Each structure stands twice: as structure tokens, then as C-alpha cells.
Amino acid sequence: MRYYVQRVFQAIITFVGGLFLTYCLYRLMPGGPVQAIVARIVSRRVRQGRPVDAQEIGAQAERMTGINPEHGILEGFYNYVFNIVVYQDFGRSIGFSDPVFDVLFRAMPWSLFISGYGLLLGFTATVLVGTLMAWNEGTKTDSGLTVFVLTMNSIPYYVGAIFMLVIFGFEWGVLPTGGRFPQSAEPGFNAEFMIGVVSHGAMPILSTFILGFAAGSLGMRANTVRIMGSDYLRSAELRGLSTNRILTRYLARNAILPIYTGLVIGISAVFSSSVVTERIFQYPGVGWYMLEALELQDYPLVMGGFVFFAGLTVIAILIADLTYGLIDPRAGDAASRESF
């Protein structure tokens, strides 16, 4: 129990510390978000010939950013976190004129859909291909798969995304080139909408699959080769167990722990890559809105997006810490957990 409490406490400290540092940069950047928004409002009112009321404009900027410029860093950070926790108030998006929480909440399921499925498919392929390469070490199967994995690993995910977009989208026309579902489809549990969601998400998922698959297969092969001479594998063979059972229950499960760690840590890489992937495919998820926010200098939305990405990363690593024992029995001993 002490181990779990320590890990949860460390995760909370890590998240709050990262959020505090980002908030400090958010406040101390040249000009500052509040000043930039005030300047933008003043410029718009001057162009429209409307009166410029400094107090009214300051209050409007505060509502949009969730920051009172009269407060210090610590007081402002406390108020910012308090509004997030109690009211789910991240401020108001400048570019989309909606609360930041509403913008992110609408986009979040779509980012989780393409990134989650891409990562899970990549992890499954990593385990299967890495184990198969190690089991057939030195054969043509091993050599062929090694060449294939190295080739895949050398292709950046965004190059693969552009290639798929050109071939499957524009040349062959078999998959949509943008959007989350057909405009004619009525959202809900109906065939047109569900098929449309799958077809529109196919290429973003495949590009994420490239990122999650190739990088770990060689590592899985190395881990598997390292333990192939273990006594428990020889015992399993002598007991007459089938090859499939030995591969899945004995070999893969004991070699999977480092790859599992890389999987959950790689969640941050997958979601950060979604900024580019969603832009290429014009897929309005959190990454797409983040890039739009950067272009529009939408400071509240950028800060809210950081909270989303940082929270997912910390939660994923925490889940890895707490579930090691389920993946590898050797990590289940409380006395030796720290060594893992």
C-alpha cells in the first residue's frame, strides 16, 4: 500500500510542478498574454470607432485568460488551479469564442480515438513481430522482418501520413482526405455515421501505428533473445507445451515489461505527434486545435491543451507503475518493486 501511495503522490507533485512552471512562463513571457489580448481588443475597438474603456477591457481580458494581472505569480496560480478543479474553467478561447474546456472536451474523444487505437495496434504488432523474430533468430524470417522493421523505423510518422494521404486519398480515392465523419451523416449509432468515423480515422490511425510499431520491435526482439535460454522455457518445452503457449505465456510475457514501460511513456509522444498528424489530415482533435491556437495566439487554449497533454502523460506513467505486477509477475514482489 505504501508503494501505491508514494507513486500517486509523486504523480501529483510532478503534474503540479510542471503546471506551475508552465504557468510562470505563461505569465512572464514578453508582453504577457493579458497585455497581448488587451492590445488586440483596443486595436479592434479603434478600428470599429468604439470607445476604449481601460477598466472594461481589463475585465474582459481577465475573463478570457482567467488571469488577474494585479495578482502575483503564486496567488494567480492558486486561482487558476482553483478555477480548473472547482469550475472546470480554463478561461475563454480567443479564436473560437467558446470556453476552453468546451473546445477541448469536444475534441478530446476524437484524439483519444485515433491515438489510442494507433498505439494499441502498434504495441500489439511490436510484441508479436519482436517475439517472432527472436523465436526464428538467424533464419530468413528474422532477416526479412529485421529489414522491414528498420525500413518502417526510418520513416517519420508525418512522411508516412503525407504518403498515405497522397496515395489512398488523392490518387486512389479509397479513403477520405479530411474531417472526422461525413458531413451528410447524422451523429449517433447508425451505420453511415459509424462507417464514416472508421474510414475518416483510418489514415490518422495508420500513421500513429507507424510511430508505435517500428520503434519497439527490435527492443522486443532483444529482450526475447536474452531470456530464451532460461530454464523455465526448457521446462515448458520438456512438458510438451505447444509453441503458441510457450510464445505467449512464457516468452512474450517475461520479455514485455521494458516494452510496456516504453508504451505508456510513448503516449506523450503519440499525443504530441497528433498536433502534426491531425493538421495533415484536417482531423479536428486536440492537436488540431492546439496548432490553431498557436497560429491565432490563443493563449488560454494553448495553456488548456498543455494541461490535457501533461495530465495524460502523468496518468499513463502512473498506470505503468501500478500495473507492472499484472504484466510481469517478477514485478509483483513488494520488496523488489523499486528495482524495476
**Cβ within 8 Å of residue 301, ≥6 positions away:** 93, 94, 95, 96, 100, 103, 104, 289, 290, 292, 293
Residue 225 lies in a domain: yes
Asked if the structure places residue 206 within a domain, the reply is yes
* Beta carbons of 175 and 169 less than 8 angstroms apart: yes
pLDDT score at 335: 45
Report if residue 95 sits inside a domain: no
> Cα 164–273–155 angle (5° rounding)?
45
Residue ending a domain, among 54, 87, 120, is 87
The predicted model gives 76-103 an average pLDDT of 83
Question: Which has the closest alpha carbon to 254: 335, 327, 337?
Answer: 327
Q: Are residues 58 and 125 in the same domain?
A: no
Where is the domain boundary, 40, 66, 87? 87
- Rounded distance between C-alpha atoms, residue 289 and residue 77, angstroms: 24
Mutual orientation of helices 100-135 and 286-296 as an angle, nearest 10°? 130
> Based on the number of CB atoms within 10 Å of its own CB, is 243 exposed (0-12), middle (13-18) or buried (19 or more)?
exposed
Is the domain of 109 the same as that of 253?
yes
Cell match 464514416: residue? 196
Domain check: are 199 and 83 in the same one?
A: no
Residues 173 and 299 in one domain: yes
The verdict on residue 13 lying in a domain is yes
Give, to the nearest 10 degrees, the angle between helix 54-65 and helix 299-327. Answer: 20
Do both 60 and 147 map to the same domain? no
Amino acid at 311: G
Examine residue 155 and state whether it is found in any structural domain, yes or no. Answer: yes
Asked whether residue 107 falls in the same domain as residue 51, the answer is no
Tell me whether residue 93 is in a domain.
no
Q: What's the pLDDT score for residue 334?
A: 47
Do 148 and 262 belong together in one domain?
A: yes
**Containing structural domain, residue 182:** 100-339
Using the predicted structure, report yes or no on whether residue 189 has a pLDDT greater than 50. yes
Instruction: Mark whether 164 and 296 lie in a shared domain.
Output: yes
pLDDT interval class at 288 (50, 70, 90):
confident
- The count of domains in the chain is 2
| Range with the largest mean pLDDT of 4-18, 121-135, 250-264, 309-323 | 4-18
pLDDT band at 214 (very low <50, low <70, confident <90, very high): low
303 located within any domain: yes
Residue 76 pLDDT more than 60?
Answer: yes
For residue range 230-280, what is the model confidence (pLDDT) as tens digits? Answer: 787 778 878 888 877 877 777 777 777 777 776 776 666 666 667 888 888
d(CA 322, CA 11): 11
pLDDT band at 336 (very low <50, low <70, confident <90, very high): very low
Whether residue 69 is found in the same domain as residue 131: no
What's the predicted TM-score (pTM) here? Answer: 0.75
Phi-psi category of residue 93: left, alpha or beta, with phi > 0 → left and psi -120 to 50 → alpha: beta
Contact, 237 vs 246, CB < 8 A?
yes
Same domain, 326 and 203: yes
Query: 34 and 65: one domain?
Result: yes
Q: What is the mean pLDDT of the chain?
A: 79
Of 49, 64, 87, the position where a domain reaches its end is: 87
Shared domain for 171 and 259, answered yes or no, is: yes
Write down the pLDDT at residue 235: 83
